Amino acid sequence: MFKITTATRHLIASATMAATISFAGVAGAQDDTIKIGILHSLSGTMAISETTLKDAMLMLIDEQNKKGGVLGKKLEAVVVDPASDWPLFAEKARDLISKDKVAAVFGCWTSVSRKSVLPVFAELNSLLFYPVQYEGEESQRNVFYTGAAPNQQAIPAVDYLMSEDGGSVKRWVLAGTDYVYPQTTNKILQAYLEAKGVAKDDIMVNYTPFGHSDWQTIVSDIKKFGSAGKKTAVVSTINGDANVPFYKELANQGIKAEDIPVVAFSVGEEELAGLDTGPLVGHLTAWNYFQSVDNEANAEFIKTWQAFTKNDKRVTNDPMEAHYIGFNMWVEAVEKAGTTDPDAVIDSIVGVSVPNLSGGYSTMMPNHHITKPVLIGEIQADGQMETVWQTSGLVVGDEWSDYLPDSKDLIADWRKPMSCGNFNVVTGKCGGQGTN
């Protein structure tokens, strides 16, 4: 039933162009429930990725209620639609916290949407769980970053390609969409590669606009760059919609993974669902979770998900796993603190350890980032990834990159008495500035 009402509401919302009117998933405030805010775009350009996360959160809340809720109270989801409009994210966040009085918010996808809500969460002192891999260079008291920091995705991927297993790559194309995440990640990667002795001439950086659809020139440039007698790889931070035409052009121009592998940081099972992956077999992705990971917890999660969405072909992906981890961490921290009060949860959540879906445990660190394994997967003909390499242990999310001159001396530790997100270990003062 819920699906239909949401659908109708979407229609109405767009028809009246009233994207600004908030609509709550479940109406009516009751005191004996704990409210959880879900702040994901359900319309506009980011709906393609974020709608899935809204559904995943509804499922997690549903499952928790079946287990009896939290602190003896049922959980109640409050869904809002920020419509891929960055300032609207801040407005919606404010509504969620001050009007709906939610205990915590799970949401945002793009970095710019996260940056837009940060002041709201700091001002109103609430909690945000952010589930997407991002560029780092940030650590906020009210935000928990359950996606990967650059050292949990980008750097291990490059390490793998440099290794003999990955093909001893000597020449690098860093291709990305023109916005903050690819630019910062590429800055970190460039510094890292140069520290590893890669010459400047062997790195090609290329940016394209959002939704870029004509990749002919760039793919042939990559081909050209790759024919200099050295093993070449492409590190792709190309985002969202632009990926499908990019991969189609790669396949048609005959760039094979054996010759020039492409490792992507923003391409998951969901993105591949719109693509014939036959010609792409062997190209790589780097994540902390794949649907194909073989263990009981994951099989259970996939089963619940497909039953919840009533579609046995629905795929799972990395940001969904991040919400799974983040949500369970919040539940555990609330149980530990005995209250949903944000200050108490911020204190109690550090050190909380919950099972992740790749067969181990993830722990919330004092910098509000979590520990994760890093997996390198190969795209298969059926649109799934197959793990070909993984880090031997868990990797701690590093909020301030060690490879950028501005941020290498900074650390974050939100435990008392330090309680600082940008402590400079050289000057011994809180309040350092990173790259952004």
The set of residues, in sequence order, having a beta carbon less than 8 Å from that of 249 and lying 6+ positions away, is 215, 216, 219
Q: Is 227 in the site for another protein (CB under 8 A)?
A: yes
Q: How many residues bind another protein (CB under 8 A)?
A: 62
CB-neighbour burial class of residue 254 (10 A; exposed 0-12, middle 13-18, buried 19+): exposed
Q: Is 321 in the site for another protein (CB under 8 A)?
A: no
Q: Is 43 in the site for another protein (CB under 8 A)?
A: yes
Q: Is 241 in the site for another protein (CB under 8 A)?
A: yes
Q: What is the side-by-side strand order in the sheet with 104-107?
A: 74-80, 33-39, 104-107, 128-130, 143-145
Q: Read off φ and ψ for residue 145, nearest 5 degrees.
A: -100, 100
Beta carbon of residue 253, minimum distance to another protein (angstroms, whole number): 6
Q: Is 229 in the site for another protein (CB under 8 A)?
A: yes
Closer by beta carbon to another protein, 31 or else 312: 312
Closer by beta carbon to another protein, 8 or else 30: 8
Q: Is 52 in the site for another protein (CB under 8 A)?
A: yes
Q: Is 163 in the site for another protein (CB under 8 A)?
A: no
The set of residues, in sequence order, having a beta carbon less than 8 Å from that of 82 and lying 6+ positions away, is 39, 40, 41, 88, 89, 91, 92, 113
Closer by beta carbon to another protein, 208 or else 348: 208
Q: Is 11 in the site for another protein (CB under 8 A)?
A: yes
Alpha-carbon span 79 to 236, nearest angstrom: 32
Q: Is 274 in the site for another protein (CB under 8 A)?
A: yes
Instruction: Please identify, among the stretches 58-66, 108-116, 202-210, 348-356, the one whose residues bind another protein according to the rule CB under 8 A.
Output: 202-210
Q: Which residues pair with 203 in a beta bridge?
A: 172
Closer by beta carbon to another protein, 339 or else 380: 380
Q: Is 228 in the site for another protein (CB under 8 A)?
A: yes
Beta carbon of residue 86, minimum distance to another protein (angstroms, whole number): 17
Alpha-carbon span 388 to 276, nearest angstrom: 21
Task: Compute CA 155 distance to the chain's CA centroid, rounded to the nearest angstrom.
Answer: 16
Closer by beta carbon to another protein, 231 or else 408: 231
Q: Is 207 in the site for another protein (CB under 8 A)?
A: yes
Q: Is 248 in the site for another protein (CB under 8 A)?
A: yes
Q: Is 252 in the site for another protein (CB under 8 A)?
A: yes
Burial annotation 130-166 (CB, 10 A radius, 16+ → b, else e): bbbbbbbbbbbbbbbbbbbbbbbbbbbbbbbbbeeeb
Alpha-carbon span 192 to 198, nearest angstrom: 9
Q: Which residues pair with 129 in a beta bridge?
A: 106, 144
Q: Is 220 in the site for another protein (CB under 8 A)?
A: yes
Q: Is 261 in the site for another protein (CB under 8 A)?
A: yes
Q: Is 137 in the site for another protein (CB under 8 A)?
A: no
Q: Which residues pair with 34 in a beta bridge?
A: 75
Q: Is 397 in the site for another protein (CB under 8 A)?
A: no
Q: Which of 124, 180, 204, 388 binds another protein (CB under 8 A)?
A: 388
Give the residue among 21, 54, 35 at the shortest CA–CA distance from 126. 35
Alpha-carbon span 267 to 250, nearest angstrom: 15
Q: Which of 114, 212, 323, 369 binds another protein (CB under 8 A)?
A: 212
Q: Which of 196, 224, 303, 429 binds another protein (CB under 8 A)?
A: 224
The set of residues, in sequence order, having a beta carbon less than 8 Å from that of 201 and lying 6+ positions away, is none
Q: Which of 281, 297, 344, 430 binds another protein (CB under 8 A)?
A: 281
Closer by beta carbon to another protein, 149 or else 222: 222
Which structure tokens are listed for 15?
């028809």
The set of residues, in sequence order, having a beta carbon less than 8 Å from that of 305 and lying 6+ positions away, is 56, 59, 314, 316, 320
Give the residue among 236, 229, 171 at the shortest CA–CA distance from 207. 236
Alpha-carbon span 433 to 436, nearest angstrom: 8
Beta carbon of residue 393, minimum distance to another protein (angstroms, whole number): 19
Q: Is 82 in the site for another protein (CB under 8 A)?
A: no
Catalog residues that contact another protein under the rule CB under 8 A: 7, 10-11, 13-15, 17, 42-43, 45, 47-48, 51-52, 165, 167, 178, 206-209, 211-214, 216-218, 220-221, 223-224, 227-229, 241, 243-245, 248-249, 251-254, 257-258, 261, 270-271, 273-276, 279, 281-282, 378, 380-381, 386, 388
